[in-house]
Amino acid sequence: MSMTMMFEALSRASSFLEEAGEETEIASILLQHHTGYSRARLLAEMRSQIDESLLERYMEDVRTAASGVPVQHITGSEQFYGRRFHVNPDVLIPRPETEELVQHMLEQCRKPDASIVDIGTGSGIIAITLALELPESSVTAVDISERALATAERNAASLQADVTFLLGDLVSPVAGRTFDVLVSNPPYIPEGDRQSMKRNVTEHEPEGALFAGEDGLVIYRKLAASLPEMLTADGIAAFEIGDGQGEAVASLMKHALPEADVTVLRDINDRERIISVIRQPVRIRG
């Protein structure tokens, strides 16, 4: 019986994915998943033979990926800020751009023991990362989905992060409380964009975490209305946004907090990505 080399399996999988219109990089991710090899080890093993039963399971997953199922749902995980998080169809798959939101918050947060709230936590990536990077802080995370919170709690447990998870709609579970830091990556895709999106997003990721009304600004309006009462006098807030939403979201935040320094920040790809809100204590002249 002829044995298959690792590089042959990878080549076959890559071609199969390319023909299906999917990214060929998925072939490598899945092969690492099945072999347990790092990227470097996989390269070193290219001329090794691959076990037939492993090859069968590998190609089955390649066919699943070619049908549009996100590779993260097949492997059950995704990297974020150097850590591995569990993901599934109940939560949004972590995007690299959101790492820039976290990085911004870490740079802006002046209090090591800050009180932090993450609204719409999903898989918990933002809340958990902030809790681990700022171990003296107290972090609360809110989501409307019980199933998303279950995933976030699993991630917090496996990464040993101290986060309080609360079930409810936006800020309602923390009404009456104030925080030094408020962060959110809310749904922001306008309903009209649904048709032009990739099927592996629209068919496999939670709708409630993607779409936000006709203009995509529904959640930002609600969050802006909550800011004056929720942020401490020198508190900071940051929101992930879609490209082209900068001016509209900045305007909402400025209207809610006229004294705040509101800035639109671009990501590594030069797309509008973050609205930064830094509240300045009002100085009384006298």
State the binding site for S-adenosyl-L-methionine.
Answer: 120-124, 143, 185
Q: Between the CA of residue 113 and those of 9, 134, 226, 286, what are the distances in Å? A: 51, 8, 23, 33
CB of 171 within 8 A of CB of 220? no
3-state secondary structure of 95: coil
Binding residues, as ranges, are 120-124, 143, 185-188
Q: What's the token pair of residue 110? A: 């002046």
Q: Between the CA of residue 88 and those of 52, 119, 122, 145, 210, what are the distances in Å? A: 28, 19, 11, 13, 15
3-state helix, strand, coil in the chain (%, to 5): 45, 20, 35
CB of 224 within 8 A of CB of 253? yes
Estimate to the nearest angstrom the gap between the alpha carbon of 240 and the chain centroid.
Answer: 10
Q: Residue 128: which region, alpha, beta or left (left: phi > 0; alpha: psi -120 to 50)?
A: alpha
Binding residues for substrate, as ranges, are 185-188
